[in-house]
């Protein structure tokens, strides 16, 4: 099977993101919100397009401070839309602001998301060998819970990518050094494939 992590070596920025962040468990609400917002911005675009604009996103959204973004209004939307280098997608921008408002009223965004794995990093059968879905039962359940809370742009495909990025699902290839590093550092549960698509 192909080495799934090889996809991150096509661009030096992607490679650096893989080595420093992707799949490393996140337990900080600001960072979790940033990851989730990056997935919102990425919808329909390549990941590298968003990585190259990450500093612009951070500038536009107060470094993804949940409380500050939650207080944004129409003037902030206009400011963000006019920022050089910003992806001018008003629906996505408003989705991030809306999602911040929802997150601001949650006890903890991290606690909510990690509750679906009981605080464990999940390793699914077949994933370390490269059998990676675009969504699964877990991402469907998480997406449903976030939509019920009022969040938008949180479909099961976006959420599966988010679960990978924030380390709830360890989808590093078995041959990737980070696969072993993560399972040797954090509590792990091994599960069978879950309604994968």
**Residues 158 and 39: beta-carbon distance below 8 Å:** yes
Q: What is the mean pLDDT of the chain?
A: 96
**Rounded-to-integer distance, Cα 106 and Cα 108, Å:** 5
The answer on pLDDT for 6 being more than 90 is no
Q: How far apart are CA 118 and CA 161, in angstroms?
A: 19
Q: In the prediction, which pLDDT does 42 show?
A: 96
For residues 166 and 42, give the distance between their C-alpha atoms in angstroms, rounded to a whole number.
15
Q: All domains of the chain, ordered by start, with CATH?
A: 11-191 (1.10.340.30)
pLDDT in tens, 70-105: 999 999 999 999 999 999 999 999 999 999 999 999
Task: Report the percent of the chain where pLDDT is more than 70.
Answer: 98
Q: Label residue 192 by pLDDT band (50, 70, 90).
A: very high
The neighbouring-strand residues paired with 191 are 124
pTM of this structure: 0.95
Q: Give 1's pLDDT tier (boundaries 50, 70, 90).
A: very low
Distance (Å, whole) CA 79 – CA 69 = 13
Active site residues: 17, 39, 47
**Pairwise pLDDT comparison (6 vs 104), residue with the higher score:** 104
């Amino acid at each position: 099977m192909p080495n799934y992590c090889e996809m991150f070596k096509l661009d030096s920025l992607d490679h650096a993101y893989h080595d420093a962040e992707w799949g490393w468990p996140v337990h900080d609400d600001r960072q979790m919100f940033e990851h989730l917002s990056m997935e919102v911005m990425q919808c329909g675009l390549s990941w590298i397009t968003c990585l190259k604009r990450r500093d612009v996103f951070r500038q536009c959204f107060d470094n993804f401070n949940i409380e500050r973004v939650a207080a944004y209004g129409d003037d902030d939307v206009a400011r963000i839309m006019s920022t050089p280098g910003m992806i001018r997608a008003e629906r996505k921008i408003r989705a991030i602001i809306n999602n911040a408002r929802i997150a601001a009223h949650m006890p903890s965004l991290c606690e909510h998301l990690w509750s679906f794995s009981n605080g464990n990093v999940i390793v699914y059968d077949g994933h370390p060998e490269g059998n990676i879905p675009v969504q699964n039962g877990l991402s469907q359940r998480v997406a449903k819970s976030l939509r019920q809370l009022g969040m938008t742009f949180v479909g099961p495909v976006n959420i599966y990518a988010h679960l990978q990025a924030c380390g709830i699902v360890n989808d590093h290839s078995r041959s990737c050094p980070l696969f072993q590093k993560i399972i040797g550092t954090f509590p792990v549960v091994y599960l069978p494939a879950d309604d994968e698509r």
